[in-house]
A and B are shown apart, each in its own frame.
Chain A
Amino acid sequence: MVRTGRIGVFDVVNFLLLLFVAITMVFPFLHMASVAISAPEYVVRNEISFFPKGLQFDALRAIFEDNRLWIGYRNSIGYVILGLFISMSLTIMGAYALSRRGLVFYKPVMLYIVFTIMFFGGMIPFYLVARAYGLMDSIWAMVLPNAINTYNLIVMRTFFSGMPVEVEESGRIDGLSDFTVLTRIVMPLSKPVLLTIGMFYTVGIWNDFQSALLLIRDPNLFPLQLVIRNLVVVGQAGDVLEATTRDGHKVILESLKYGVILLGCLPVLIVYPFIQKHFEQGAMIGSVKG
């Protein structure tokens, strides 16, 4: 809403509150980056808040030289590419079929799908089943168990069924089949929803920690999240520190850990400005339920 007229107390208080919100949101990132690239003597004395002091990149260099983060990056990128392909294919296929008017078995199929939102077998049965399928220490562990997100499926179905019948019919007159109507008409016309849901899947796979914790034991298959957790939360960053001090560099554990976290969320920070428009749209599409 556009407020006009005199600037009152209300506006000033509002401005201050929002300023506080903005600072709280930005501070952790600034602080993280500042500690990661500040000289050790300042970090030791806890003098870093918003801005770096005495620029020094030894901590980042030490992280780059340790191959764990790279392995994590490589694996996570691989999981996202493979997983995105699988998730999108399955979701599009399901959503398209379910969006057809008068589809035979529509009701039982929807019930079958929606019931899984309400009830889940739990962590242990899931683990046992995944083991039995041979997913332990396999790349499939990261892409198959969560391949379809039911909310995404329903959102996409709702979007597809909102498409005007006339558009499809004109395609049929031009000789398109049941399947090519999907690829030539429905999908090109649904770019926003496909982009948004693709983005949600990407974030989901990239951020997935639990599947890896349960099913992946081989360090060569660790996704980035598990690597960050091992380095920062479990504290393996200490090994990196030992290696760097042997080489004669002086690096502080704190800078090292912040560096790891920062490099871990760097892709999100880089991509974020470009996807912002889409996720706002996406959250809206998701809220208009059919």
Chain B
Amino acid sequence: MADVAVPVARSPIRPVGGSTVVDGWERAAGPPRGALRLCDLSFLAKVQVRALRSGTAADRLGTGLGRAARRSSAHQLVIGSGPGEWLVLGPQGQGSALVEELERRLVDASGLISVVDLTHGRALMRLTGSDAVRGVLSKQCAINFADRVVPDGASLRSTVASVTTDIVRDDLGGERSYLLHCERSSGQYLFDTLLDAGRFHGIQACGATRSDW
């Protein structure tokens, strides 16, 4: 990815520990550190698909309600975020391409279908670490995050610090990790609140690396 001097897009979350510009996006530059980490991934492409809850479109997207699965060939994470509602995450800068690809895949599916690029309208962050991650989330969310209730690959929508948030359990190399996706205007608040809630556990804000995606 080529660095340019002037960002054309900014995350709703202020970069912590310096920033860099990657392909037009201003991103936090701090390296990952500590056992418990929070990083901003708002630069990833985020596309919402709405279609019939069951049928051709649901079959082609391949992920049911409450689950998230990777399409490794396309570097996509398909999240069943609601009944008849999916969120597809892709690499930075791929929003338009992702919309076109999804529209092609669903062109002859039955029922009304909408595919919308939400990249610049939402905030996305990743909370990674040991079991302390559960403790941090439990301070702000009423969901039981035990493995039997929210295993790796599970997805749900609830409130975190009173902000409606999509929560996706997406472990990284065996390390417990959650993606948190909310409205752009609530992103900074949610980020700050999680940092505050994790202070006791030694949480660190850091920049994203390739392994975070």
A and B co-occur in one complex: no
